[in-house]
Homo-oligomer: A and B are copies of this chain.
Amino acid sequence: MMKSPIPDYLRRVLEKARPFDSGEPASYIDVLAKADTSRSAVAVATVDGSVYSAGDDDVEFSIQSISKPFVYALAIQDQGLDRVLEKVGVEPSGDAFNRLSLEAGTNRPMNPMINAGAVAAHALVVSIDATMEQRVDRIVEALSRLAGRQLHVDEAVYEAELKDANRNIGIAYMLKAAGMITCDPQEAVRGYIRQCSINVNVRDLAMMAATLGNGGLHPVSGDRIMPQESVRQVLSVMTTCGMYNSSGDWIASVGIPAKSGVSGGIIGALPGQLGLAVFSPRLDERGNSVRGVAMCKQLSRDMGFHMMDMSQIAGASVRSWTATVAGGSKQPNACQEDVVVFELRGAVRFAGAERLTRAITAEMDKIRASCESSSGTGVQPHVCAVLFSFRNTYSLNDVARRLIHENIRRLANMTNVVVIDPSGVLKLPVNQALDQGLGFQQPRVFKTQAEARHYIGGIGCRVVSNEDSI
C-alpha cells in the first residue's frame, strides 16, 4: 500500500529536535510547571484541509498567547478595523510580552501580541457592552470552529492563572485608566484568562493556523470564518510583533508569521500554503518552546517556507499564457482570416495579467506590421478574431481581472473577441457593459471550446485544430 512520506518527514523533524533539552516549563503556575517535558508534537495542515502530525499530537495543553491572533481577528470582525486600531496599535514594542508598553500620545498598547494589547483586544470582542460570559462563549465557539471540534476551557488552568493574575489585572486597570477598555478590568482579565485556558492539541492549532493561511476560509469546511481583511491584519501583526522582541530575527531566519504560547506551543501560518503547530513544554529565556523553535527552523529550512524566499514565492502567478496563431503555419497575407489565441494559465495576479497585456500588444503590433507589409498600410481589421482561453486559469485576483477586462474592451473596438471561460473566473457579463466602458463592442463568452469553435467558424475565421490550438 502506498503511504505518504510526509508523516515520516515530520517524525524525523521531531526526532532531530528531541536532543534540545535545555530550558524549563513555565513555572509561574503549578499546572504548567509540572508539565511532562518529554512531550513533543508537530502538525502541518494544508489550506485544503489535510492534516499531518507526529509525536504527542493528541496531548492537550492550554492555548495561552496563541489565542491572541485569533481573538484580535474576532475583535476586528466584531468592531471593524478602525475601532480596533483606536484601542490597539500595530508597532513592535521592543519590550517583553508582559510590559505595559503603551504608545506615547495615543495611550494604545503597542500591539495585540503583548498582554496589554491582547486584553484590550479581548475586551472588544462581541461588543464593548458584552458580558464576560458572552465574550468567552464567542471566543470558545470561534476557536472551536477553527479547530473543527468543540474546545473547552481547562478549569484547573483557569483557576491557577487567576491566582497569579495580578500583573494582568494591573495592566487592565491601566488600560481602563487610559480609556482603552470600557468594561470592568477584573472582568476583562478573567475573560482573557479563560481565553488563554482553552485546551488544544497541535492538530487543532495547525488547522487554526491553516485558516489564517487560507485567507480566513476553513480548510476543511470551506466556511469563511474570518473576513480577509482581518486575516491580512492578523498575519501582518504576527509578522512584525508575533515573536515579541525577537521578531526581526524570527522573520529573517524563519520567515513565517508566528505566535508562541507559554505552554510550549508555537503556530505559524504561511499564506496560501499551510498552517503549522509545534509543542514541547521546555521554554527558553524568551518564553518560547526550545524544541518548538528548533522544529520551526528545521521546517522552514527543509520546506522552503521562508516567505521572502523566491523559490517559495517566485512564479506564483507566473503560469505563462500561450498565444497561438491558429494554423501554426501562418501565411503572411492571411491576416484577414486569422484567429489569434491567448491562453492564460495558473493563478493570475497583476504580474500574469501584465504579461498577457504585453503579449497582446506585441502580437497585435507584429500582425499589423506583417499585414501592412503584405497588404498596405491602414488595413483594418488585421485579424478575423481574438480568442481568449481561460480553461487553465485557476484563479484571477481583482487587479488581474480588471486589467484583462480593459484589454478585452480595447480589442473589442478593433475586432471580434471570443472568450472561453468554463468556470467563469473572468466574471465577464455576457450582455452588460464592462467597467465604465459604455458603448464598446461586446465580447462573446462561451463555456466550452466546442461552442467557441462553432461561433468562430460561423463568422468566417479559420481555425486549425492541432495540439496547440484552442
A24 in the interface, Cβ–Cβ < 8 Å? no
Distance between A397 CB and nearest chain B CB, rounded to angstroms: 4
A370 in the interface, Cβ–Cβ < 8 Å? no
Which chain B residues lie closer than 8 Å to A166 at the CB level?
Answer: 173-174, 176-177, 185
Q: In the complex, A62→B350 CA distance in Å?
A: 30
Which chain B residues lie closer than 8 Å to A93 at the CB level?
Answer: 94
A406 in the interface, Cβ–Cβ < 8 Å? yes
| Contacts known (A310-B215, A354-B50); A319 close to B304, Cβ less than 8 A | no
User: Of the 9-residue stretches A122-130, A148-156, A237-245, which lies at the interface with chain B?
Assistant: A237-245
- The reply to whether A90 and B248 contact each other, CB–CB distance below 8 Å, is yes
- The reply to whether A319 and B347 contact each other, CB–CB distance below 8 Å, is yes
Q: In the complex, A394→B320 CA distance in Å?
A: 8
Q: In the complex, A303→B403 CA distance in Å?
A: 10
A228 in the interface, Cβ–Cβ < 8 Å? yes
Number of contact residues on A: which range applies? 35 or more
A35 in the interface, Cβ–Cβ < 8 Å? no
- The reply to whether A399 and B303 contact each other, CB–CB distance below 8 Å, is yes
State which of B173, B305, B355 has its C-beta within 8 Å of the C-beta of A46: B355
User: Of the 9-residue stretches A2-10, A53-61, A196-204, A438-446, which lies at the interface with chain B?
Assistant: A2-10
Which chain B residues lie closer than 8 Å to A134 at the CB level?
Answer: none
Query: Which chain B residue has the least Cβ–Cβ distance from A357?
Result: B4
| Contacts known (A169-B173, A313-B271); A251 close to B240, Cβ less than 8 A | yes
Query: Which chain B residue has the least Cβ–Cβ distance from A310?
Result: B215
Which chain B residues lie closer than 8 Å to A397 at the CB level?
Answer: 304, 309, 311-312
- Type the 1/0 row for A280-317, where 1 means its CB is closer than 8 Å to any CB of B: 00000000000000000000001111111111111111
| Contacts known (A171-B174, A311-B228, A314-B347); A91 close to B90, Cβ less than 8 A | no
- The reply to whether A249 and B91 contact each other, CB–CB distance below 8 Å, is yes
Count copies of this chain in the complex: 4
A11 in the interface, Cβ–Cβ < 8 Å? no
Q: In the complex, A251→B173 CA distance in Å?
A: 30
Distance between A88 CB and nearest chain B CB, rounded to angstroms: 11
State which of B6, B360, B368 has its C-beta within 8 Å of the C-beta of A403: B6
Which A residues fall within an 8 A CB radius of B?
Answer: 1-6, 46-48, 50, 89-94, 100, 111, 166-167, 169-178, 185, 214-216, 228, 231-233, 235-237, 239-241, 245-249, 251-252, 255, 257, 271-274, 302-320, 345-347, 349-351, 354-355, 357-358, 360-361, 364-365, 368, 392, 394-395, 397-399, 403, 406-407, 410-411, 414
- In addition to A2-B411, A48-B355, A170-B177, 16 A-B residue pairs with Cβ atoms within 8 Å of each other are A5-B357, A6-B403, A91-B246, A169-B185, A170-B175, A173-B173, A216-B310, A228-B309, A232-B306, A236-B248, A239-B308, A271-B310, A274-B351, A312-B349, A316-B317, A319-B319
Q: List 19 A-B contacts (CB under 8 A).
A: A47-B351, A91-B249, A92-B240, A92-B247, A170-B177, A171-B173, A173-B173, A215-B310, A215-B311, A231-B308, A237-B252, A239-B239, A271-B309, A304-B349, A304-B350, A313-B316, A316-B317, A319-B346, A346-B394
